[in-house]
A and B are shown apart, each in its own frame.
Chain A
């Protein structure tokens, strides 16, 4: 792929474009996701942050060590969610997180389709050898998606998160090795 680290990144899946978010993407629609308790139920983010704080946070993504990729359906071009990618080059381990803010796109396989190209990018373009993530133990759709993409449950972090009700919550750690991902893709292409 033609891309220079540090420059905005764009990836494509069958139905979506993933690209580095821009200040103009922090629009009212995006801001509304942070006010939706159901959207943010399991997402570790400050739901009370100001628009200025959102802009400052976006600037921390350098498209080298930290990526914030918006998810845009090709059919509409309106952002429906986003990924965070955190590759650690010295260990060749990357972490991802994803949020689908637009409820109309829940249960439509968006995460599995788009995360597949994210995995290809992390494994093949950035040279990661493992991808991991954590997920609240009651985030059933996310657990389904990790399982569907071949992740293994590697552990349970007790009281590692804080729910929207302020109570501490347990979180799973999921992991996927590059060889496992490649084998999975090879099997599907047969």
Chain B
């Protein structure tokens, strides 16, 4: 598991108020009972705090799984490494 995947799991667990170990690899909207509208807001705000910027509006709509969060963080890390 790379750093982005670990960070994604920690951020999502915090938003869902779960232990990171209890977040399944395939966790997604609709499969996690506690992933409600407020949890989603906590998740987005936590990602933005981690990245230090507001997310692109499209990202707010696209994030729907642990994998999406990890991919977003990975992409952001790659962008910052290149700049």
**Is A5 interfacial (CB-CB < 8 Å)?**
no
Give the interface residue-count category, chain B.
Answer: 10 to 19
Query: Mostly helix, strand, loop or mixed at chain B's interface?
Result: helix
Fill in one digit per residue for B15-58: 1 if any A CB lies within 8 Å of its CB, else 0: 00000000000000110000011111100110000000000011
How far apart are the CA atoms of A107 and B37 in the complex, in Å?
A: 5
Q: Is B57 a contact of A144 with CB atoms below 8 Å?
A: no
B residues less than 8 Å from A156 (CB atoms):
57
Which of chain B's residues have a CB closer than 8 A to the CB of A97? Answer: none
Residues of chain A having any CB pair with chain B under 8 Å: 106-109, 111, 137-138, 140-145, 147-148, 153, 156, 170, 172
22 A/B residue pairs, CB under 8 Å, sorted by A: A106-B37, A107-B36, A107-B38, A108-B36, A109-B36, A138-B60, A140-B41, A140-B45, A141-B37, A141-B38, A141-B40, A142-B37, A143-B40, A143-B61, A144-B41, A145-B37, A147-B29, A147-B64, A148-B29, A170-B57, A172-B57, A172-B61
